[in-house]
């Protein structure tokens, strides 16, 4: 089975936040190339807010690279951007729309059984409206 994972799922693991999504252990993971950037920015922001120190930030950044490198990463293509701009049945911000559009494209082309993993309620609502099984919310 295959799951699309958004940054919120990986960040709960990397930042050791409560209630990480353990159900993903048996899944092949797919994510957007954007996920690496979003996760690294979150780690750096934690450092700036002094929630973690520099040594911890280096460990967490390494964990981001490891987690993202263990997933198949989908480049943000013109097709994905066009789908993200094309509208959704629910309200979504730009990055969320790019994630949902990426998952839609992957499901259509490679994995009709693709599930969507997120801790973000808006993304979960949009994914469910588009027929995805959603994990994490």
pLDDT tens readout for residues 58-85: 999 999 999 999 999 999 999 999 999 9
| Residues found in the chain | 137
| Alpha-carbon gap, residue 123 to 54, rounded angstroms | 31
Q: Is residue 81 within 8 Å of residue 28, measured between CB atoms? A: no
Number of folded domains that form the chain: 1
Mean pLDDT, range 95-106, rounded to an integer: 98
Q: What is the DSSP string of 103-116?
A: HHHHHHHT-TT-EE
pTM here?
A: 0.94
Q: Which residue has the tokens 């979960």?
A: 124
**Percent of the chain predicted with pLDDT > 70:** 100
Range of the domain at 101: 2-135
Which pLDDT does position 22 carry in this prediction? Answer: 87
H-assigned helices in the chain: 7-14, 34-48, 54-69, 78-85, 94-109, 121-129
- Residue 130, pLDDT above cutoff 90: yes
CATH number, domain with residue 41: 3.40.50.1010
Summarize pLDDT for 14-42 with one digit per residue, the tens. 999 999 998 898 999 999 999 999 999 99
């Amino acid at each position: 089975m295959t799951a699309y994972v958004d940054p919120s799922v990986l960040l709960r693991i990397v930042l050791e936040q409560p209630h990480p999504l353990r159900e993903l252990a048996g899944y092949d993971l797919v994510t957007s190339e954007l996920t690496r950037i979003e996760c690294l920015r979150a780690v750096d922001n934690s450092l700036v807010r002094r929630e973690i120190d520099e040594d911890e930030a280096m460990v967490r950044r390494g964990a981001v690279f490891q987690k993202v490198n263990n997933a198949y990463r989908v480049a943000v293509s013109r097709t994905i951007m066009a789908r993200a701009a094309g509208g959704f049945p629910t309200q979504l911000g730009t990055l969320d729309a790019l994630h949902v559009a990426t998952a839609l494209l992957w499901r259509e082309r490679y994995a009709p059984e693709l599930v969507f993993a997120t801790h973000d309620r808006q993304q979960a609502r949009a994914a469910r409206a588009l027929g995805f099984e959603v994990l994490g919310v």
